[in-house]
Amino acid sequence: MSESQATVYVVDDKADVRESIGCLCEEVGLNVKLFASPEEFLEKYLRNGPSCLVLDIRFPGTSATGLELQNILASSGNPIPIVFISAHADVRTSVEAMKRGAVEFLPKPFREQELLDAIRFGLERDRSRRSREHALREVKVLIEALTAREHEIMLLMAEGLLAKQIAARLRVSEVTVKAHRIRVMRKLKLRSPIEVARLVDSVSAGGACIIPRGVAQHSIASACA
């Protein structure tokens, strides 16, 4: 994805700062949108495409702060990467912002290249997050297409059990297990039980529980741990 397909949002109460950062971003081919306050940003922000937020820490004359906007975005499930900028930075505030996931905290005045490097890092972080989420959604669609029995066998395969062991666990024939196992790998577009285990691990690591209705309870712990 090219930089022209990404968007940089700049939220600062000083018009000259907004315009300066906006021109800098446009010079390197980045789309940029400028806002004078957190409230204006929240009213017009669209969650489409990779993005990075350049955010002032303080907004004199209002009760809003950059940290509060950071909290609002995080609590709404929108972890947009944030580059904080401030003319009144203090160690406590900068540490708090970084602990909450900020990409960078730059005191004003800052070097243009320093800001661009931070923005590009934020955009790449957002691209990677979106790519992982897209892959996870695709995998979940494949998993949801499995039958309840196939789900169960997939989870037992992920535990590293052989067909004979799975058959004993489920009290079915080994031939039946092997037939289900082949269908599981075909539906998931995988080639081996090891790949099935990796897929289940990746989905679980993404915070998704993959137990459908009808799957035996003994498999729940391994899938949702």
Distance of CA 133 to the CA centre of its chain: 6
- Model confidence at 1, in pLDDT bands (50, 70, 90)? very low
Contacts of 7 (CB under 8 A, 6+ apart): 30, 31, 32, 33, 49, 50, 51, 52
- For the chain, what are the domain ranges? 3-131, 145-224
% of residues, the chain, pLDDT over 90: 59
Query: Which residues on adjacent β-strands are paired with residue 9?
Result: 33, 53
Contacts of 202 (CB under 8 A, 6+ apart): 136, 139
User: Hey, which CATH number is domain 145-224, 3.30.420.40, 3.40.50.620, 2.60.290.11, 1.10.10.10?
Assistant: 1.10.10.10
Same fold, 3-131 and 145-224: no
**Contact yes or no for 84/102 (Cβ under 8 A):** yes
Least Cα distance to 162 among 185, 183, 193, 184 occurs for 193
CA distance 145 to 124: 32
pLDDT digits (tens, 9 = 90+) for 155-172: 999 999 999 999 999 999
Supply the pTM of this predicted model.
0.73
pLDDT digits (tens, 9 = 90+) for 127-138: 999 988 888 889
Return the amino acid letter for 199. L
- Centre a 10 Å sphere on the Cβ of residue 98 and count the other Cβ atoms it contains: 13
Q: At residue 37, does pLDDT exceed 60?
A: yes
Max CA distance (Å), the chain: 74
CA distance 139 to 208: 11
Q: What is the CATH number of domain 3-131?
A: 3.40.50.2300
Angle among Cα 26, 29, 33 to the nearest 5 degrees reads 45
CA distance 26 to 93: 30
Q: At residue 89, does pLDDT exceed 70?
A: no
Do you know the residue count of the chain? 225
